[in-house]
A and B are shown apart, each in its own frame.
Chain A
Amino acid sequence: MPAPVRVQSAPFDMGAELNAFAAGVTGAGAVVSFSGITRDIATGDLEVMEIEHFPGMTEKALTEIRTQAMERFGLADAMILHRYGPLKPSEPIMMVATAARHRADAFAGAEFLMDYLKSRAPFWKKEVTAAGAAWVEARSEDEDALSRWSAAD
């Protein structure tokens, strides 16, 4: 079975990843997945999305986030896959998947993974267009999204 946390430059097949994840799950009837693809919204002329990360810390942060989600929502399993390096528009950047006995925990677990991953895992996106390159700015909404999980404690 593939490792539950993977950070790689190589492309991946969302469908194949999800099938492999679901096939390895036991004791759960609900599987939820989320995939992020390189967007081309800001200017409409995105050529490349470059993703930088902090090797070592990235894997450590993602592993901690996964462990927290597993415990908090009683998940049967969870996986996180995130790419780095140059990506073309519409390519998959990352995906998470969760498995639980019931759908509510699987959905919530996936949202938790995404909220923490966005603001706590050391990835930085840079958009390259014909006009030049610009770092994507963090959105305050992403930081705010974390507060709902601590407020619920």
Chain B
Amino acid sequence: MKLDIRYFAWLRERVGTASEQVETEAGTVAELIAELRARDEGYAYAFSDTGSIRAAIDQDLVEMDAPLAGAREVAFFPPMTGG
């Protein structure tokens, strides 16, 4: 399936792009991260500490084991620091 992926804050800086489209067979957010991490050193570095990464599917915050079925967009970002 085709997925739009978006990156924010330091994850965007480390990956080197704000958004991209990927073709993936990953079943969950965690599996998608594993695929991305295997791409190259930049992605491996960006996703090295999954405890510091949050994910949203179609703009809803989700856990790492959330299924990707039906998803159009997945966003990755660090813990939020608003307020």
A residues sitting closer than 8 Å to B (CB atoms) are 36, 51-54, 56-57, 60-61, 82, 93-94, 114, 117-126, 135-138, 143
* 19 additional contacts (CB under 8 A) given A57-B75, A60-B59, A121-B80: A52-B8, A53-B82, A54-B6, A54-B8, A54-B56, A56-B59, A57-B56, A57-B59, A93-B83, A118-B81, A120-B61, A122-B75, A122-B77, A123-B81, A123-B82, A124-B78, A124-B80, A125-B81, A125-B82
In the complex, how many residues of chain B place their beta carbon closer than 8 angstroms to a beta carbon of chain A?
16
B71 sits at the interface (CB 8 A): no
A122 surroundings in chain B (CB, below 8 A): 8, 56, 75, 77, 80, 82
Interface residues of B (CB under 8 A from A): 6, 8-10, 56, 59-61, 75, 77-83
Tell me whether B8 and A117 are in contact (CB under 8 A). no
Query: Across the interface, which residues of B come within 8 angstroms of A121, CB to CB?
Result: 80, 82
Please determine whether B83 and A117 come into contact, CB atoms closer than 8 angstroms: yes
Given known A-B contacts A54-B75, A57-B59, A124 and B8 have beta carbons under 8 A apart:
yes
